[in-house]
Amino acid sequence: MAPLRVLVVDDAVVMRRLLSQVLEEDPGLTVITAANGRIALSKLVQASPDAVVLDIEMPELDGLGTLRELRKTHPRLPVIMFSTLTERGAAATLEAMSLGASDYVTKPANVGSVNESIERVRAELVPKIKALCERCRPEGRPEAASSPAGPRRAAPRSDAGPRQRVDIVAIGSSTGGPNALHAVLSALPGSLEVPVVITQHMPPVFTRLLAERLDATCELQVQEASGGERIGPGQVWIAPGDHHLEVRRAGGGVELALDDGPPENSCRPAVDVLFRSVARAYGGRALAIVLTGMGADGQRGAELLREAGSHVVAQDEVSSVVWGMPGAVVRAGLADEVVTLDDVPALITDHVALRRSSAVHLTTARG
């Protein structure tokens, strides 16, 4: 198979050299460079890249402007934003995601530490390029017909009894997650009778701005967790960057707790940590949803939730940006349902509705 062609767009010579060095050390990658967005757009036809790594702040034409123009002619081309770990960089990155960027990698904070910078970029950027390109190549692209229009059973339980009521919804996501979360949360009613807790792989600052953007466009109240909050209906809590999020029983209710312990699955926050705590606090009365993302974070937690009797759902391959996390859950036989992203909001409201009907039934029986 021919090496993947990666177009690196950055106005800083040091960054172009660093990225070129990192990427070309991999025999499966070859690099073309451009010093700004206008040059990059002119190279698209001639170079025919398989992926683009795009800086945000550049002269002539910045990253957001370049992305808007690029998407007019290349709607499926993987684009990874290369942003600074600042509030301004985070805001621009989230805007880029809404414009169709596939993913992002943050720039090394200290360019002077060359070896450390090279290693971090290699660890984050190379796997993302390969995962995104694998999906877009003809031989790696799932056929739309392979996924049914609605939910389908993936791994039915041999001991399945009546469906449990749902007291909490727990969601895990990574690559492609910000847009997927927006699609799900914006379609849910503000009257949702249970809380929603989310782990999205993101660094500090990014998670707060993501929560703010979602809160501005959703009926539900969306916040970044800070620890100690008592959770209730209609609330959505997102794990803050660099901290694991957990739920814990306390004083007759459930509170949020943050943990800066070691990363799990090379992630902090990690979906497994959240799911594990949900299994402890809620047993079989949870709905767990694993959305698009690289890796296998969430698989072990999904196993514990399913053993406790909770319902586990995975996003399907066709609608996922990368079918790593949900795919791992499906392949392990842990998914009760595999659904398209468009089906997730209705699935949530349907499962939560059982809570209402259970409460009505209980009240009637007592009366």
Q: pLDDT tens digit string along 184-208?
A: 999 999 999 999 999 999 999 999 9
The phi and psi torsions of 186 (rounded to 5 degrees) equal -70, -15
- Per-residue pLDDT band for 175 (boundaries 50, 70, 90) equals very high
pTM: 0.90
> For 228-255, what is the mean pLDDT?
96
Domain layout of the chain by residue ranges: 4-140, 150-365
Closest CA to 86 of 67, 114, 107: 107
Mean pLDDT score of the chain, rounded to an integer?
89
Q: pLDDT tens digit string along 268-308?
A: 999 999 999 999 999 999 999 999 999 999 999 999 999 99
Q: pLDDT tens digit string along 98-118?
A: 999 999 998 876 655 667 777
Q: Give the CATH architecture of domain 4-140.
A: 3-Layer(aba) Sandwich (3.40)
Active-site residue flag, 266 = no
Q: pLDDT tens digit string along 249-277?
A: 998 899 999 999 999 999 999 999 999 99
Active-site residue flag, 297 = yes
Q: pLDDT tens digit string along 312-367?
A: 999 999 999 999 999 999 999 999 999 999 999 999 999 999 766 555 444 444 44
Active-site residue flag, 147 = no
- What does the pLDDT read at residue 306? 97
Question: Which one of 10, 167, 272, 297 is the catalytic residue?
Answer: 297
- What does the pLDDT read at residue 110? 60
Question: Which one of 201, 244, 311, 351 is the catalytic residue?
Answer: 201
- Per-residue pLDDT band for 147 (boundaries 50, 70, 90) equals very low
The class level of CATH for 150-365 reads alpha beta
Question: Which one of 174, 310, 319, 320 is the catalytic residue?
Answer: 174
Q: Do domains 4-140 and 150-365 have the same CATH topology?
A: yes
